[in-house]
Each structure stands twice: as structure tokens, then as C-alpha cells.
């Protein structure tokens, strides 16, 4: 039985992010997939596994204990919305020298799946809170 769009998205977060299995990116992400709204050097969507892997490596290097919990999903045809909680500790060298600071922030990923691979994804994660927790940006007043 072929994988469902939801099972592909859940495998993405578990295998790629939680287990840190970079080789799973090639299996679960289409060769021309577009990843929108992730920090990229040129501000454009990341296209395909080759463009996504440096983003992945930077986060896994900075946060070796990174975990992304999928709290809930909503599926409509080939598109899955995943509400996520991201946690980790800044013990690696990405994002500046290791601070030992924990991060915890939420986000939503909307992924379109074809033939068992993510072919397009829109990401809305609270990177403002992420950078505030790292101490890169000031906390907003209450």
C-alpha cells in the first residue's frame, strides 16, 4: 500500500528532524520540491534536497538534540497541515558560539505530497521567538 500524504509528512519530521537522518531527505523530498518561508541566503524558496540540506545541517549542528513534535495534522487530498512544537538546546556552533540556551517555539507546515514525496511546503515557524531565545534579538516588553 502506498504511503498516505500524512504518513509522508510524519515520516519527514520523525526521520529527518528527530532522528537526524539526512539520507531520508532524498527519499521524502521531491527532486524539484519548493520549501517556502525558511531562512535562506537569498530569501528565495529552497528548491530540492541539495538546497534544503545546508538549512538542515545548520539546524542539526546548532541543536543536536532538536525535536519536532507533530501535535496535530489536518489532511485535504494531497495536502497536509502539521502543527508542530520545536525544542532543542543550542550546544553546537551554528547560530554563533554555543550558548547552552534552550529553545521552544511553534510552527505550522503545509506540505503537498505527490508519489510519496513532499513536492512543495509552506512554513510558518516563530523564528522571531527562536532568535530571542538565543539572545540574538531582544525580548519584546510584556
Residue 5 has pLDDT above 90, yes or no: yes
Q: Which residues contact 41 (CB under 8 A, 6 or more apart)?
A: none
Binned at pLDDT 50, 70 and 90, residue 87 comes out as very high
Asked, for residue 26, whether it belongs to a domain, the answer is yes
> Which grid coordinates belong to 121?
511546503
- Specify whether the CB–CB gap between 62 and 93 falls below 8 A: yes
Take residue 139 and report the three cell numbers written for it. Answer: 525580548
Number of domains in the chain: 1
Task: Copy the grid coordinates of residue 44.
Answer: 528565495
Q: Are 78 and 114 in contact (CB under 8 A)?
A: yes
Please check whether residue 142 lies inside any domain of the structure.
no
Question: Could you tell me the pLDDT band of residue 141, with boundaries at 50, 70 and 90?
Answer: confident
Q: Is 72 a domain residue?
A: yes
Assessment of whether the complete model's pTM goes beyond 0.85: yes
Domain coverage including residue 89: 5-134
The answer as to whether 140 is a domain residue is no
* Among the ranges given (11-25, 36-50, 78-92), the one the predictor scored with the smallest mean pLDDT: 36-50
pLDDT value of residue 3: 94
8-state DSSP, 41: T
Amino acid at each position: 500500500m502506498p504511503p498516505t500524504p500524512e504518513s509522508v509528512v510524519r515520516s519527514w519530521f520523525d526521520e529527518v528532524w528527530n532522528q537526524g537522518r539526512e539520507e531520508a531527505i532524498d527519499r521524502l523530498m521531491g527532486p524539484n520540491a519548493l520549501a517556502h518561508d525558511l531562512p535562506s541566503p537569498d530569501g528565495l524558496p529552497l528548491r530540492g534536497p541539495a538546497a534544503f540540506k545546508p538549512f538542515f545541517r545548520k539546524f542539526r549542528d546548532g541543536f543536536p538534540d532538536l525535536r519536532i513534535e507533530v501535535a496535530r495534522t489536518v489532511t485535504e487530498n494531497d495536502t497536509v497541515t502539521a502543527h508542530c512544537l520545536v525544542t532543542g538546546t543550542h550546544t553546537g556552533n551554528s547560530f554563533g558560539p554555543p550558548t547552552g540556551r534552550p529553545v521552544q517555539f511553534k510552527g505550522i507546515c503545509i506540505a503537498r505530497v505527490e508519489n510519496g514525496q513532499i513536492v512543495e511546503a509552506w512554513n510558518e515557524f516563530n523564528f522571531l521567538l527562536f532568535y530571542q531565545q538565543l539572545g540574538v534579538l531582544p525580548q519584546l516588553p510584556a
